Structure 1
Amino acid sequence: MNNKYNLFKRILELSKSKNWDEARKEWAVVEITEAQADDPGSCCCGKHPIKEMIQIFNQKTRNEVIVGNCCIKRFFDINDYDKVFKALKENRINSFMIEDCFKKEVINPWEYGFALNVWRKKKVSKKQFLNFEKIKHKILNFYKKISMGGEK
């Protein structure tokens, strides 16, 4: 069996709906992390090893699974997750990460507004730079916490 079939089969088993187009709407992203080199992850489709892992949660059945960066594209916008992994590799953040962390209450409303206002600016004051670095650190730690051995 191919991995695409395995993904569909596994997700349908864990979903309330038994129709793929409906079932995939039941799922939401919980965590986006990168596996440690000595402890690679596995996708629910059966692919192993995977380096880039996305934990998704079914809002109707309360099930959770890990999918890789290829399988996540079957659920949501392709570019957002590619951008997250690219930003993590470069120790940067992007607007998707800022928005995601605000929705998950990792950053507060002031930090959210400030980060969105400053993240693409080329010239900022020293105070703005220091504030942005604190927010950036919070966001990067949120995405990296599992791969660094932290708790959820």
Structure 2
Amino acid sequence: MSEYRLTQEIIALSIAKTWDKARFEWKLDHVYYEDEPDTCLCGHFPIIEICVLLNEQNGKTATVGNCCVKKFIGLPSDKIFQAIRRVRYDYTKALNKETIAHAYQHNWINNWERDFYFDTMRKKTIL
């Protein structure tokens, strides 16, 4: 994984021209699993846990691996992927607070659903 390459690619897609400023233009837009391995902006191959970042200043997107998002940009994608894996293998398991917050920020769930998830996520059984 090349930290230098990732930072240069992100800066090139940003309005700011320094890493310290450019990194704050980006937010985690969405995550998904890829059936066919992809390549991260840092050059790492293969990646299957894909994170799509959105630049809030200019609307550009960047596709990076889960490790780069966590290590260099500091977004909670690893927690979101943990929750997805857990629920994918056992639908009775609860999501975590990072995943619930991400879903709420994207208006995928409403206030009531968010509050319900937070109230029930620590319970032993949901069903």
Shift of 1:23: 0.3
Give identity over the alignment, percent: 33
Which aligned pairs between 1:1-150 and structure 2 lie closer than 5 A? 3-36=2-35, 39-73=36-70, 74-77=72-75, 80-91=76-87, 92=93, 93-122=95-124, 129=127
Q: State the superposition RMSD in angstroms.
A: 1.6
Runs of 4+ with >3 A deviation? none
| 1:84-109 Cα distance to aligned partner (Å, 9 max, x none) | 22222222411111111111110111
The count of aligned residue pairs is 120
Q: Whose Rg is larger?
A: 1
In terms of fraction of residues, the more strand-rich structure is: 2
Higher relative contact order (CA 8 A, sep 6+): 1
In 1, the alpha carbon distance for the partners of 2:84 and 2:21 equals 31
TM-score (norm 2): 0.86
Contact 2:40 2:64 in 1 (8 A): yes
The answer for unaligned runs of 5 or more in structure 1 is 130-152
TM-score (norm 1): 0.73
